[in-house]
Amino acid sequence: MTLDEQIAQAQRHVHSGRLILERQRAIVARHGMQTSIDLLKLFEQTQQIFESDLANLLDRK
């Protein structure tokens, strides 16, 4: 996979992750259940990884 392809894939992951976070935050706001909160924390950690990966790829370009 070329660097440009890796960047495009990382951008898709970041975009998808942001949508997932938005939905999960809405669920937490409505219900506040501990399971929903724990899942949100996991999604936030995953999103940090996606964004860090994208930043590293862009630095290589």
- Whether 26 is covered by a domain: the verdict is yes
| pLDDT score of 3 | 96
Answer yes or no: is 60 within a domain.
no
pLDDT for res 13: 98
Which residues constitute the domain of residue 38? 3-54
Residue pair 18/47 in contact (Cβ under 8 Å)? The answer is yes
| pLDDT (tens digit per residue) in 3-40 | 999 999 999 999 999 999 999 999 999 998 999 999 99
Distance in angstroms (rounded) separating the CA atoms of residues 28 and 31: 5
Overall number of domains in the chain: 1
**pLDDT at residue 33, as a whole number:** 92
pLDDT at 61: 86
